[in-house]
Every structure is written in C-alpha cells, then in structure tokens.
Amino acid sequence: MRRRLGWLAVALVLVAGGLAGCGDDDDGDDGGGSGSGGDATTTEASGSGGGGGNEAITSYCDKVQELVDKGEELRSDPTNSDLQGEIEELSTELASEAADLAAEAPSFDADDAAQFQECQTQLSSAGG
C-alpha cells in the first residue's frame, strides 16, 4: 500500500509539474484580465503565505500538507486501514486538482508558479 501511494504521488508530480513547466512563459500580458479579479488585491492572509494570490493553489498546497502529514502518521501505524483510505481519497482529489491547476499554469504569475512548484516539490519528496 505504501509503495502504491508513493508511486501515485510521483506520477502526480510528474504530470502536473510537466504541464506547469510547459505553460510558464512570461508574456507580460498583465493587462486585459479575465474579469476574475485575480490581482494582488485578492491575496488574503491564508496560512503560511507563499506570496501567490491564487486561492486554488493555496487550497491545493494545504491539501498537499495534509497528505504529507497523513503519510507520516501512516508510517508510524502502517496497519491503520482508515488512514490508508483517507490517503487514497486525498491522493485522488489532489491528482484532479493538480491537473486543473496545470491547465491554468500559463496564466500563473511568477509568485503563483513558484508556490505551485514548491507544493509539487513537497509532494514529491514525501512520496518516497
């Protein structure tokens, strides 16, 4: 089970990181906007910072931290089947969110891209 979750995390990181890396080009298209109001004024005080104003990335990173914490807890009690189920469910949710965020990656500003990459790195190092 542990090995399966590790490979799931690695696959998640590779897919999302690859897509995010392909879309990170600074066009300087800061004007215009999509009407979503995602400028610096949307940055709310949410937890440990990170500088990005993208609430979806902040939520994703919080869930990554939750998964890392649950993984550490599972290492101390590998027979906890309830925790294994929670980890599988959270991993599936994170995979979906990572794919959605990777599709949005071309619109990330530098802070959002850095925050997303940091979370991907955290997930990758926890996976194995």
Give the pTM.
0.61
Q: Give the pLDDT confidence score for residue 125 in this predicted structure.
A: 86
Whole-number Cα distances in Å, 76 to 2, 83, 124: 12, 11, 20
Split at pLDDT 50, 70, 90, the class of 86 is very high
Q: Which residue has the higher pLDDT, 51 or 109?
A: 109
What whole-number distance in Å separates Cα of residue 39 and Cα of residue 53? 7
What whole-number distance in Å separates Cα of residue 10 and Cα of residue 119? 13
Q: Which of 51-55, 81-85, 94-98 has the lowest mean pLDDT?
A: 51-55
pLDDT in tens, 9-67: 555 555 555 544 554 444 444 444 444 444 433 333 333 444 447 899 999 999 999 99
Looking at residue 36, the DSSP 8-state letter turns out to be S
> What mean pLDDT do residues 88-92 have?
94
